[in-house]
Amino acid sequence: MSTQAEGPRRVRVTSPRTSAARRPTAPAGTREIDEQTRLGEVYMHSLVQSQLRLALAVVACAAVVLGSLPLLFTLVPATRTLSLFGLPLPWLLLGIAVYPVVYVAARIYVRKAERIEAEFTEFVGRK
């Protein structure tokens, strides 16, 4: 015969996810940046410097391309009087051809800046 004095039977309750992987801790590089340590400052400085170099290179290339147009008009006098589609060539080049050059320079900058940021994120995530 069973006795009621023993009380209810104890049952052990566990989470079904006890064997699941623990949440990964933040990589050291990210932690350095978040905590604004000297190493984090070096990481951020290198990112800013890379983006600055890229910006200066893109602006310099665009300036060379666009700055060569007045030089072309000076060195080749026939270009000053040449007309295409009833419009003077200098007007066409300075008024219309400038925009595709600026657009291409902007596309190049955005793609390379995104690549720099992706590489930086990958690098910092590994540290």
Domain ranges of the chain: 27-126
Q: Evaluate if residue 118 carries a pLDDT over 70.
A: yes
* pLDDT 10s digits, 26-37: 666 777 777 778
What is the pLDDT, as a whole number, of residue 35?
Answer: 75
* pLDDT 10s digits, 78-116: 888 888 888 888 888 888 888 998 999 999 999 999 999
Spatial contact of 11 and 81, defined as CB atoms under 8 Å apart: no
* pLDDT 10s digits, 51-71: 999 999 999 999 998 888 888
Query: Could you give phi then psi for residue 12, rounded to 5 degrees?
Result: -90, 125
